[in-house]
Amino acid sequence: MELFKPGKTYDFMRVRKYWIALSVFLALGSLVLLFFPGPNYGTDFKGGTEIEVAFTKAVEGGEIRHAVTKSGAFSEPDVVQVSDGAHPYRYLIRVQEISTVDESTKESLRKALCLGVEGENAKCPQNARATELKFSAGGDKLSVRYDTDPDLEKLKQQLAIVPSVKLRAGTNNPQVTNPRDHRVEIQLQSKGDQLLDVLRNELGADRVPAAALRVEWVGPKAGKQLRDSARNSVAIAIVFIMLYLAFRFDLRFAPGVVLACVHDALVVLGAFVIFHKEVTLSTIAAVLTIVGYSMNDTVVVYDRIRENLGKHRGKSFSTIINMSISETLSRTILTSGATMLSVLAFFIWGTGVIKDFAFAMVVGIIAGTYSSIYVAAPLTEWIDTKMSNKTRAEEVKKRLNAAKAT
């Protein structure tokens, strides 16, 4: 299918200086936005506790924010309404707190469970005297070990002494997980459970469901590691793309694709900052997808340029670029258009993470198609001109040296 008349060449390079200026503006503007105000990192990268709640009755984001802040147990929350036809009052609530057990609470638990206390005069009987106590990373699980069969009722009484600790509701909590080692698992209320309790107390039990749709938490150390890994994954992908292109074509072509990929990634991240969207692992997955998509589109143009360089040796590199882009324009628009239609469906009717992923893809497809023409190609032409001028200068120098020698 041909959208444009075959054999017609459009002079894309004639107006390249205007589009290059736009590209520089978009790339530098996005780079500035990444530092000020900076991206809105999701829980994946920032750390914290995140829950999604489908309230049973009408509620406003301001009410939720006020209720959480009023409790005094949590920091200022981020409250975002999630579009969902099945749950009209669905909200995403994020707080910075992660673990329910801080260092002071851990020490209180050790004392309450008589950890390490020995001798006949100990205040705790043998079956209520812990010999080992381990805490989960999120602070919602305790693993306790005894020398004899533990007294679970006495254990509940010991836990009740610590005011900041509450058992999660359930018939088998605490429970013996290893009778031979006398090991007991205790499930405490997580920050997500406590957050729901706060909402019930402040907004009313008739408006807050019994359980959240989703509860996630990520520690600050894990969030930093994920940020570093995400940045490294994009950088490594771009490096290998450059090596692949240098091997497949030559060094003139590789920098153009790399610059186009960096341009597209920056534009997508800048759009996320402008529209106050969260940067999560799904966003990085979208950026990597866009980098691959942009490279594929550019390689198609480059392949045609290399083919036309052999067929039209007398023409300038700028003319070759115009011919190559014109010949592949129908293919580019059809491919990008078909992909865009699929992604737009997810963007319009999708929710949550899928909608943000689709948004990144929409921006990336537009930027990737544009950068193949007005980022990669002009840079390749500039490099070719520099290399050609250098080659001519060396030839002139050799001739002059030869003339002096004779």
- What totals of helices (H) and strands (E) does the chain contain, helices first? 12, 10
Say which CATH class 48-97+192-217 falls into: alpha beta
Neighbours of 393 (CB within 10 A): 10
Give the span between the Cα atoms of 20 and 25, in whole angstroms.
Answer: 9
Query: What per-residue confidence (pLDDT) applies to 119?
Result: 53
pTM of full prediction above 0.85: no
pLDDT tens per residue, range 187-246: 888 788 888 888 998 898 889 988 888 887 776 666 677 778 887 888 888 788 777 777
The residues pairing with 134 across neighbouring beta strands, listed in sequence order, are 143
Instruction: List, by residue range, all CATH 3.30.70.3400 domains of the chain.
Output: 48-97+192-217
As annotated, the residues of the chain forming the CATH 1.20.1640.10 domain(s) are 12-41+219-405
Q: Is the pLDDT of residue 120 over 60?
A: no
The CATH number given to 103-188 is 3.30.1360
| pLDDT one-digit tens code per residue, 299-309 | 888 888 888 88
Return left, alpha or beta for 62; rule: phi > 0 is left, psi -120 to 50 is alpha, else beta.
alpha
Confidence of residue 121 (pLDDT cuts 50, 70, 90): very low
Residues 6+ apart with CB under 8 A from 384: 252, 317
Could you report the per-residue pLDDT of 147-164, keeping only the tens digit for each?
Answer: 888 888 888 888 888 877
Position 3 confidence tier, pLDDT thresholds 50, 70, 90: low
Burial 158-193 (b: 16+ CB within 10 A, else e): bbeebeebeeeeeeeebeeeeeeebbbbbbbbbbbb
Residue 28 confidence (pLDDT) above 90: yes
Segment 13-17 mean pLDDT: 87
Q: Is residue 219 classed exposed, middle or buried when 0-12, 13-18 and 19+ CB atoms within 10 A define those classes? A: middle
Rounded Cα gap, residues 302 and 377, in angstroms: 8
Residue range 231-288, pLDDT digits in tens: 788 888 878 877 777 777 777 787 888 888 889 989 999 999 999 888 888 888 888 8
Q: Residue 174: is the preceding peptide bond cis (ω within 30°)?
A: yes
Q: What is the pLDDT of residues 309-366, one digit of tens each?
A: 888 887 888 888 889 888 888 888 888 888 888 899 888 887 667 888 899 999 999 9
In this structure, are residues 174 and 184 in contact, taking their beta carbons and an 8 Å threshold?
yes
> Nearest 5°: phi and psi at 208?
-110, 130
Domain 12-41+219-405 part of CATH 1.10.760.10: no
Q: What percent of the chain has pLDDT above 70? A: 94
Q: Can you read off the two tokens belonging to residue 335?
A: 């491919």
Summarize pLDDT for 38-50 with one digit per residue, the tens. 888 877 777 778 8
Percent of the chain with pLDDT over 90: 10
Return residue ranges of the chain for CATH 3.30.1360.
103-188
> How confident is the prediction for the chain on average, in pLDDT?
83
